[in-house]
Structures are given as C-alpha cells and as structure tokens.
Amino acid sequence: MPPLRQLNGAVIGYGFISGQGHIPAYLDRVKSRGGDVRIAAVADVCEARREAARKALPEARIYSDYVSLLEAEAQRLDFVDISTPPCDHAQVAHAAFDRSLHVLCEKPLTTTLEDARAMLEHAARAKRVLFPCHNYKHAPVVKTIREIIASGRIGTVRSLTLNTYRNTHAKGVGEWKRDWRREMKYSGGGIAMDHGSHTFYLTFDWLGSYPTAVTAKMSNLEPGKYDTEDNFTAVLTFPTGVAHAHLTWTAGVRKVIYTVQGTRGAITVDDDDLQLAVMKKTSGPDVAQGAVEWEVEKRRIESDWMDASHVGWFNSMFDQFKTAIAEGDYVGKEARESYLCIQLITTAYESARTGCRELPLKGGC
Ligand SMILES: NC(=O)c1ccc[n+]([C@@H]2O[C@H](COP(=O)([O-])OP(=O)(O)OC[C@H]3O[C@@H](n4cnc5c(N)ncnc54)[C@H](O)[C@@H]3O)[C@@H](O)[C@H]2O)c1
C-alpha cells in the first residue's frame, strides 16, 4: 500500500486531554514519524484556552467554535480530533462527516445509545473513518496482558476483575468548567460514563467475546453537590466467562488493579507490576495435597499510569487510526466496540436505577 501523504487535522476542544496528551503527541510525530500529521486548526469556546492553543501551535488557525472552523478549513483538512466533553461529541462528528472528514473521537463516544448508533451510521454513509480513543489498549502493561493471553500460557480466560481507583473525579482545565464530569448535562453520567469505556473494551479483548447481560449498582457520595455517580460496580456475563468491574472516584489511592483468570494460570496487574502465575504440576485440582504447583514470574512494565494525559500511549493508537484511513475501514472493530461500550454503560445505568436487575445486552448496532 502506498504511504499516506501528511494528514491535516483540526482539534476541537483544547483542554486537558488535547493540551497535555494529543497535541504533544502530534508534535512528537515530527521527530518520530517524519511529521506525518499536522494540526492546522483548533476550535475552543473558551478564550483562555484559545490563547493557550496559540502558544502551543503558533502556525495553527484558531477559532471560537467548530462550525466556523469547519466552514473555513474543511477543504484543507483530512480529519477532526474531537476532544470536547462528551455532550458535544455527536454534533461535532456529524458536522465533520457532512464535510467528508475522518473523525478521531475521545471516549465516551456519546452520552446516549441513539447518538452512538447515528454516529456509526453516518460514518458508514459518508465513507469516513470513525475511530474512538481507546488508549488503554496501548498502555505497555496492557499490551503485555494481551500478549500473555494470546500465547496460551494461562489457558482459556474465564473471569476478570477490573478495579479502577481514583481519589477524585478527573478534572478538566480550570479556565473552563473544571468539574464538568460531575454535571450530567455535560458528561451524561459519572465515573461509569467517564471511565467505563476503558474498562469495558478491555473485557471484550481479554474474554474474546461480547457481554450478553449486565447487572450494576452505583452511588453518589456527594448528592447535594453533584448529580453524577462517583462509585459504580457491575457484573458482566459473557458467552466465554464473567467480568467484575469496579470504578470509584472516592478511593484513597490512584491505581488500577486487574486480574485475568485462565484455566491454567492467572495474571495480576497493579499499575506497572505484573505477576504471571502458570500451573506447572496438575495431577489433581487440590493444591493442599500438593497436586498443583505454580511457576510465578514478576515483571515491572513502566506504563506511566500517573500521567492522566497518557501522552505516551497516543501515537500507537493514532497509528491504528491512520491505518483505518488508509484501508477505508470506516466503522471498524474499535468503532463498533465504542458503540457496545455506550450500550453497556446505558444498560448498566438502567440496571442500577431499577434495583440492580440483570438486563440483557442486545449486541451490535
Ligand atoms: N482517553 C483518555 O485517557 C482521556 C483522558 C482525559 C479526558 N478524556 C476525554 O477527553 C474529552 C475532554 O476531556 P478533558 O479532560 O480534556 O476536558 P477539559 O474540560 O479539560 O477540556 C475541554 C475543552 O473543550 C472546550 N470546549 C467545551 N465545549 C466545546 C465545544 N462545543 N466546542 C469547542 N470547544 C469546547 C473547553 O473550553 C475546554 O478547553 C472528554 O471526552 C474526556 O472523557 C480522555
């Protein structure tokens, strides 16, 4: 396949993730990938953020809204990078597809399932790529989990636990609305809407199938102050196993702890620390009688979990977006999984609101 020419992009929303994550990663591509991407324009509704964008990208043209940016720039652009709060992802994406632009969109894809479906359908009609920022798949330690599962060393994966601990809700830039994640009208939900996609696309990958049912419980420990949940727990039923997900913004620590249980071993991840246990002697199921011995291997895989911008994970993900453009993979696996994440989150909310009822998941759109 011939190499792509330089891609010209516009960033909509110059806040925390674009200022600390996306733009530094795009600029790094000048050194690491021969400058295959150029950010030609930025739109942000906040003057202080536009000023910050002018400093970071002196050659880019800066706009106060995405509509004027698209009117003036669309002819010269290949893609739009949507980094606004979730309430606006869908309308920006539709405007970009209307102008025949590809879309890289931050998670969560949308705040409603109807919006998610319409976005995927529009990408297919416009023959333009829709690609979600599922960047946790690109964390070095998460890539190692994938490799171990694929190697077969722990056998068939049967169950997962994914615990995400945060000592506060994630914050936006102070010049705009720092606490928008705690306001339903901007976020569409609390920690499940904000972070659930990361948890759920990892479960799809590790269990090798898609969930068929979910039961969930959520709470808000500051109901007088905020209208979104800060604690969320769900159990997902898969054709191949089960996953337990727990997400909290009221923890005493910031970390992830993931466990992957297979038929012949297990992986435990505590941020950068990975432990792999593989069954060696299996003459019977009972370890107490000495029938099972485990070979245990410990590794430290620096993954920069404390850097919430995850700038180091971006370019591996952007390479996939580029490949999708080159191959005309308009609504590929990642886009379909971003839809399934929204289906899962919104169904889990329905479960939590109705006494933790187990609810079916209808699958693909
Ligand atoms: N993938 C990840 O690891 C990760 C990490 C952080 C944030 N995010 C996602 O990135 C998105 C932005 O989050 P953030 O933390 O950067 O928020 P933020 O509040 O720091 O930044 C949002 C920016 O968008 C601007 N804005 C708001 N509405 C706009 C509109 N309609 N048009 C143009 N500009 C607009 C604001 O002025 C602000 O500068 C969210 O979807 C969030 O979930 C993803």
The pLDDT tens digits for 73-115 are 999 999 999 999 999 999 999 999 999 999 999 999 999 999 9
CA of 75 to the centre of ligand 1 (A): 25
One-character DSSP codes across 10-41: EEE--SHIIIIIIHHHHHHHHHHSSS-EEEEE
Is 173 touching ligand 1 by the criterion CB < 6 Å? Answer: yes
pLDDT at residue 8 above 70?
Answer: yes
Complete edge-to-edge strand list for the sheet that includes strand 255-262: 292-300, 273-282, 265-270, 255-262, 157-165, 241-248, 231-238, 213-219, 359-360
Looking at the chain, the domain(s) classified CATH 3.40.50.720 span: 7-136+312-331
What phi and psi, each to the nearest 5 degrees, are found at residue 214?
A: -145, 145
Residue whose CA lies nearest to ligand 1 atom number 38: 15
User: What integer is the mean pLDDT of 169-177?
Assistant: 97
Contacts of 91 by beta carbon, 8 Å cutoff, 6+ apart? none
Q: Which tens digit of pLDDT belongs to each residue from 310-363?
A: 999 999 999 999 999 999 999 999 999 999 999 999 999 999 999 999 999 987
CA of 15 to the centre of ligand 1 (A): 5
Select from 3.20.20.140, 3.30.540.10, 3.40.50.2300, 3.40.50.720 the CATH code of 7-136+312-331.
3.40.50.720
Q: Which tens digit of pLDDT belongs to each residue from 201-232?
A: 999 999 999 999 999 999 999 999 999 999 99
pLDDT at residue 3 above 80?
Answer: no
pLDDT at 1: 44
Q: For domain 138-305+342-360, give the CATH number.
A: 3.30.360.10
User: What integer is the mean pLDDT of 43-60?
Assistant: 98
pLDDT at 291: 74
Mean pLDDT of the chain: 95
pTM of this structure: 0.96
pLDDT at 281: 74
Q: Which tens digit of pLDDT belongs to each residue from 230-251?
A: 999 999 999 999 999 999 999 9
CA of 85 to the centre of ligand 1 (A): 4
Is 19 touching ligand 1 by the criterion CB < 6 Å? Answer: no
Q: Which tens digit of pLDDT belongs to each residue from 275-286?
A: 999 998 766 666
Looking at the chain, the domain(s) classified CATH 3.30.360.10 span: 138-305+342-360
